Amino acid sequence: AGSEVVTLTDADFEERVGHGNPIPWFVMFYAPWCSHCKAMADDWEELAERLHEVVHVAQVDASAESRLEREWGISGYPTLILVAENASHKYMGSRSLEALEAFARAGRPPASQGWPLPQYRSRKDWLQYQAYTFWWELVLPLAGAVALMLAVFGWLLSQVRKEREQEEKRRQDMLQFSAESRARLREA
């Protein structure tokens, strides 16, 4: 018998998992070199057999499908996401087969509203999103650097002002001392 786990790619992910699908999808975003992913592989296969026709169990090689990795915010492996009722629910529980099955059958974690599915229906939408995030990824660090430079500049300016005030006070003190000294010499 073949594997019940469906392998998804950028080419078919949206069509198969996307909006309006009546059967939930439980997707593992993995990397082939990840030891945790390898350790979970047999249980993931068993889960797919147990949930056959109730929940689609799938996998995405996120290291090869970088667009999906970015779109779904994958930052570690394996990341398990249940897509059900037009929302996604990140699985954060035990990696035991029983816990995974209970989560998938429930269709969502307890007391969870889930996150809305990404809305990129076309490559154009995706490119616009990427352009937007590119600018934010560029602007935010620069804004932080500019704010830091302004803070340092403000501090330096305050130090220069203090130094000028101290220098002016010393000059005034010297002029006063000089005037007092001349007055004493005239009296003597």
User: Average of pLDDT values for 41-56?
Assistant: 93
Nearest-5° angle of CA 135, CA 139, CA 140?
Answer: 120
Using the predicted structure, report yes or no on whether residue 177 has a pLDDT greater than 50: yes
Q: In this structure, are residues 52 and 101 in contact, taking their beta carbons and an 8 Å threshold? A: no
Query: Looking at 32-36, 81-85, 106-110, 156-160, which range is the least confident one?
Result: 106-110
For residues 50 and 98, give the distance between their C-alpha atoms in angstroms, rounded to a whole number.
10
Nearest-5° angle of CA 18, CA 98, CA 37?
Answer: 65
How much is the mean pLDDT over the chain? 83
pTM strictly above 0.75? no
Q: In this structure, are residues 52 and 103 in contact, taking their beta carbons and an 8 Å threshold? A: no
Whether residue 116 is preceded by a cis peptide bond, meaning omega within 30 degrees of 0, is: no
Q: State the chain's maximal CA–CA distance in angstroms.
A: 119
**What pLDDT score was predicted for residue 120?**
47
Nearest-5° angle of CA 111, CA 113, CA 119?
Answer: 160
Q: How confident is the model at residue 148 (pLDDT cuts 50, 70, 90)?
A: confident
Q: In this structure, are residues 44 and 28 in contact, taking their beta carbons and an 8 Å threshold? A: yes
